Structure formats: C-alpha cells, structure tokens
A and B are shown apart, each in its own frame.
Chain A
Amino acid sequence: MTTVTENDTVLEDQFNTRIDSGEYIEPKDWMPDRYRKQLLRMMSQHAHSEVVGMLPEGNWITRAPSLRRKVALMAKVQDEAGHGLYIYSSAETLGMDRSEMEAQLLSGKAKYSSIFNYPTLSWADIGSIGWLVDGAAIVNQTMLAKASFGPYARAMIRICKEENFHHKQGYEILATLMKGTDVQKAMAQESVNRFWWPALMMFGPSDKDSPNSADLLRWKVKKNTNDELRQRFIDRTVPQADFIGLTLPDPKLKLNEETKHYDVGEIDWDEFYAVIGGNGPCNAQRLSARQKAHNEGAWVREAANAYANKKNN
C-alpha cells in the first residue's frame, strides 16, 4: 500500500505535467494545496480590488461635468461591481464561500490593490484612473486571461473586453482637458503627477522581492514577471502621454535606444509597503465605506429573503 505522501508526490508530478503541457486546471481536478491557497489569495484580493475600486470613482458621479460623462462613469462603476462578482464566482469554485471572503474584506483582514487607497481630489482623477489605473490593470489581466486555472482565465477574458471602454473613457477625459483652458490643463497634469507612481506600483514589487512570484510562474498562473508587465505598461503609456502634451513626473524617464524600452527612475517602495500596510491616505475611509454599505444594505437582503420564503410557503 502506498502512503499518502507518496501518492501526493505522484499526483503533484501529474499536475506539473499537465501545467507544463499548457492544460487548464478545473475546480474539481486534483491540485496541490499551495496552488489552491495561492489562487484563493490572489482571486479574493482581485475581487476585493474591483469592489473597493468603485469607491474613489463613485465619489465623482454626482459631480460629473456632463450627462455623457455621468452615464459613462455610472456604467464603469457598475462594471467594477460586475467584475468583482465574476471573480468571487470563480473563487467560489475552489470551495470558499463568498460570505467568508466578504467577511475578510469587511474585517480589514483581506488585502486589495494599494491604488484604491489614494483619494480622487479632482475630476481629472477620473481620467487618470481610467487611463493609468485601468491601463495597468489591462496589462495584468490580459496575462491572467491565460492563467492555468480555468474559471479565473474565463473571468479575465470577460473583464478584459470591458476594461477597454474604461481605459478609453479615461484617456478621453484627459485629452479633452488638455485641449481646454490653462486651468484645465493644469488640473490634468496635477492629477497625472499624483497617479503615475502609484500606478507603476500596482504591478507589485520587483520579482526578486516578491514572495509569491516563483510559485505563480511555475504553475503558469502568471506568465510574466511583475517587472516585465510594468515595463510593458510604461512602454505603451509614455507615447500616449506625449500625444496629448502630458508630462510624466519622472526626470529619469527616457527611451533607451539600445533596448527600445523606456528607462525609469526608482520606485519608492517604502510608500508602497506603507499603503498596503494600512497607512495610505484613504485605507480607513475605504473600509468604513464598505462596512457602511454592507450594513445599510441589510434590509434589502432581508426583504429578498422574506419574499422568497413567502413564495415558497
């Protein structure tokens, strides 16, 4: 009789062979416990980011400068809710209940993307979020659309299609401001100055300092390193800034003629770790807004339950 340990080794070998040959892993398939845990961590963080991401943008719905901008922003915020639900739905296939993930978010235990702990101080920030934050998210999510876990990959394909609207509407906002008055141009530039570095931090620390990268790359959950993705984002974004006359707040930013990539200055990782450690400008505000929304929505859930019970009896 084989022992459990030997059996697990055989199963893990088979799992690795499947990964190496480019197969997708589905929820009921055997998978190493660490694969399951890493995916749950990653997917719940990702879902929470979509949900918390509604807050900085929701801040400007009532103050959007035109009806056109307002319907677009409402649709975008609604998409973020949808994206959160796609990913929660995918994560649930691994056996964790959504209420458990929700509880982790509301208690402050779960992490979400550091970018959403920055405030939206001007209308131009809605442009910067669409262009830079969603632009960075698209680079990451296009890679994740090929992740080895089937439900995650399928959710990402859906999300990527929708993010393109977010990205373009953000750029359109900034491009319009850059054709406006001096005050409007200054507003756009000031916003980009604040969002550029935090957007670069969204890809996470350099891989040599990223504790999860090796496993995620080995299992083909990720196909590129954080640094590769960050570079891809920089290379496609810098010319877009030039095109509408925005400058990026990095004196060292320069096209490297040899590598054909842009060289950039040092990212302030102390700031990144402070923000994910809970000390960003809006961490407390975001959490209390989520808790308030959850508590104030209780009556809706109760009403829906009461109605379902009444119909069933």
Chain B
Amino acid sequence: MSESNSSNWPLWEVFTQKKTGSPHEHAGSVHAPDSEIALQNARDVYARRNEAVSLWVVKSEMVIATSPGDSGPFFDPANDKMYRHPNFYKTPEGVKNL
C-alpha cells in the first residue's frame, strides 16, 4: 500500500456564509495539503447545494479555544451583571416604545 496518505495533510476548519450579510458559521473540517485545495474540498463537502456564498478555511491548529474545565470562572464576570440586560430596569406601566 502507498505511503501517501491524505490524512497526513493538515486539518482545516471550514466556515460557511449562507447569504451575504449573514455571519460565517462553522460547518466542519477537511484535510488538504494547501489552502487552495482546502477551499475546493470545503466547497465539495460543505456547499454542494448552494449552502454558501463565501467560505473560510482556517488551519485547525490556529484555532485557540477556551477549555471546558475553565469555562465557569472564565465566563463568570458576566454572571452578576444583570444591569446589562433591559429587563433589569423597571418602567412605569403603560409607557410605550420603551
């Protein structure tokens, strides 16, 4: 069997934009030897039915993510700040457009 194996190619994370104005969303990943083929593979795997008008590919190793174990303390600065939400504020009954 040949030594050449497509899985030794770098892994790329694929982001698709459904229509202009929408955000790019994570779709999955592909293996590819370079960025050009990564885009083509991403098109063939994740956009066979017009699911995208724009694609991003990013080498998976370049993605820095929070770790699940730390997610509690990492995000807790937001936990006690209800005053950032509109429903924290009381308004007189009957007032409109507020």
A304, B2: Cβ atoms under 8 Å? no
> B67 at interface (Cβ–Cβ under 8 A)?
yes
Chain A residues 74-93 with CB under 8 Å of chain B are: 75, 78-79, 82, 85-86, 89-90, 92
Q: Find B45's partner among A86, A154, A308 (CB 8 Å cutoff).
A: A86
Given A82-B45, A311-B34: A92 and B67 within 8 A (CB)?
no
Residues of A within 8 Å of B24, CB to CB, are: none
* Structural contact, A98 and B7, CB atoms closer than 8 A: yes
**What is the CB-to-nearest-CB distance from A211 to chain B, in angstroms, rounded to a whole number?**
30
Chain A residue with the shortest CB-CB distance to B13: A89
Q: Does residue B6 face the partner (Cβ distance < 8 Å to A)?
A: yes
Q: Inter-chain contact count A-B, CB under 8 Å?
A: 68
Contact call A308/B33, Cβ cutoff below 8 A: yes
Checking B4, B8, B9 against A298 with a beta-carbon cut-off of 8 angstroms, the contacting residue is B4
Is the Cβ of A295 less than 8 Å from the Cβ of B1? yes
A97 touches B45 (CB 8 A): no
Contacting pair B34 A28 (CB below 8 A):
no
Considering only residues 4-56 of chain B, those with a C-beta below 8 Å from chain A are: 4-9, 11, 28-34, 37, 44-45, 48-49
Give the residue of A98, A311, A312 whose beta carbon is less than 8 angstroms from that of B31.
Answer: A98
Query: Is B78 positioned at the interface, with any CB of A under 8 Å from its CB?
Result: no
Contact between B37 and A97, CB atoms less than 8 A apart = no
Given A78-B48, A92-B11: A307 touches B34 (CB 8 Å cut-off): yes
- Per the bound structure, the CA–CA distance linking A85 and B31 in Å amounts to 10
In the complex, B65 has a CB within 8 A of chain A:
yes
The contact of B5 among A28, A86, A90, A99, by CB within 8 Å, is A99
How many chain-A residues does the 8 Å CB contact rule pick out? 34
- The answer on a CB contact under 8 Å between B1 and A106 is yes
Q: How far is the CB of A10 from chain B (nearest CB, A)?
A: 13
Q: State in angstroms the CA–CA spacing of A304 and B5 once bound together.
A: 11
Q: Is the interface of A mostly helix, strand, loop or mixed?
A: helix
User: Given the complex of chains A and B, what is the CA–CA distance between A294 and B31 in angstroms?
Assistant: 16
B94 within 8 A of A: no
A38-87 interface (Cβ within 8 A of B): 75, 78-79, 82, 85-86
In the complex, whether A260 has a CB less than 8 A from a CB of chain B is no
Is A208's beta carbon under 8 Å from chain B?
no
Question: In whole angstroms, what is the CA distance A302 to B2 when docked?
Answer: 10
> Does residue B69 face the partner (Cβ distance < 8 Å to A)?
yes
Q: Is the CB of A30 within 8 A of B69?
A: yes
A82 B44 Cβ-Cβ under 8 A:
yes
Q: How far is the CB of A308 from chain B (nearest CB, A)?
A: 4
Contact with A along B56-94 (1 / 0, CB 8 A): 000000000101110000000000000000000000000
In the bound complex, what is the Cα–Cα distance between A294 and B6 (angstroms)?
10
> How long is the Cα–Cα vector from A97 to B1 in the complex, in angstroms?
18
* 9 residue pairs A–B, Cβ–Cβ below 8 Å: A85-B45, A92-B11, A99-B7, A162-B49, A294-B2, A301-B2, A304-B37, A305-B4, A305-B9
By Cβ-Cβ distance, the 7 closest A-B pairs, closest first, are A99-B7, A298-B2, A308-B33, A308-B34, A98-B7, A301-B4, A89-B28
Binding site for B on A (CB under 8 A): 26, 28-30, 75, 78-79, 82, 85-86, 89-90, 92, 97-100, 102, 106, 154-155, 162, 291, 294-295, 298, 301-302, 304-305, 307-308, 311-312
User: Which residues of B line the A interface, CB within 8 A?
Assistant: 1-2, 4-9, 11, 28-34, 37, 44-45, 48-49, 65, 67-69
- Give me 19 other A-B pairs in contact (C-beta within 8 A), A92-B29, A305-B9 excluded: A26-B68, A28-B67, A30-B68, A75-B48, A79-B48, A89-B28, A89-B29, A90-B28, A97-B7, A98-B6, A99-B6, A99-B7, A102-B5, A162-B49, A298-B4, A301-B6, A305-B4, A305-B33, A308-B34
